[in-house]
Amino acid sequence: MTKESDVGRQKLAGELASLPIGIIPNPHRQIILDALRATWSGLSGGGDQATTPDKVYRAEELEWNPPTLKFILERHGGTVNGSSRAELHHWEVDTVGWSASIVRRGHRQLVPQARAIRIDPICRELLASVTERKEHVCVHWIDSSRARFYITRAFPDGAPQQTMQGRTKRLREMLPTYLESAGWALQRVGSQYFIVRKD
């Protein structure tokens, strides 16, 4: 344990001892967070989920229930991949054994969720375009038996990356059944998709 961590423990224990049980009020919140940050690296389990001392400053809903300090930490790792939700880690710090652990996980919606999309109507619309040899925002005809298929153009609303990946996966899985019923097939060549007439 480092000297900073030892000093942090003493300060944290002293501050908490002066507080009543319950939610820690704003006048004391920053003092507690400063002390918690100083002692964090010395807590057993504190490094779980790459939780570093600098992240502790984002702690919310600090609650003192001796000998346990509770708080919620919002993490944004999923948003890097386009998720519209942040993960919430519910932490408990044991100020006797000086350990920290995540006891529960949850999520917080950061932006409105993308509207639900039904895949069946899209498949039927695409099938009509194919059987009638019509141009479509997703379909560009190369000749009478082969067309380039731009799958992401079926979802033009700019949904988060994870949502878009889920939608395109469902379309890839469902569209072949519709096409095959009319004698067509979905073909992948590298990263490109084609709709081709079956011999």
pLDDT in tens, 84-112: 678 899 999 999 999 999 999 988 776 55
Residue 114: inside a domain, yes or no?
no
pLDDT recorded at residue 113: 58
pLDDT recorded at residue 78: 46
Q: Are residues 84 and 144 in the same domain?
A: no
How are strands ordered across the β-sheet holding 184-189? Answer: 139-143, 146-149, 192-197, 184-189
Number of structural domains found in the chain: 2
Residue 87: inside a domain, yes or no?
yes
Domain's final residue, options 109, 135, 160: 109
Q: How far apart are CA 32 and CA 57, in angstroms?
A: 10
Q: Are residues 89 and 133 in the same domain?
A: no
CB 48 within 8 A of CB 72: no
Residue 85: inside a domain, yes or no?
yes
| Residue 13, token pair as written in the block | 């224990």
Q: Are residues 150 and 79 in the same domain?
A: no
Q: Are residues 105 and 123 in the same domain?
A: no
pLDDT recorded at residue 163: 76
Q: Are residues 26 and 104 in the same domain?
A: yes
Low-confidence residues of the chain, pLDDT below 50?
78-81
Domain's final residue, options 86, 109, 132: 109
DSSP 174-196: HHHHHHHTTTEEEEEETTEEEEE
For residue 123, give its domain range.
119-197
Q: Are residues 66 and 153 in the same domain?
A: no
pLDDT recorded at residue 75: 82
pLDDT recorded at residue 79: 44
Q: Are residues 77 and 135 in the same domain?
A: no
- Report pLDDT digits (tens) over 131-149: 999 989 999 999 999 999 9
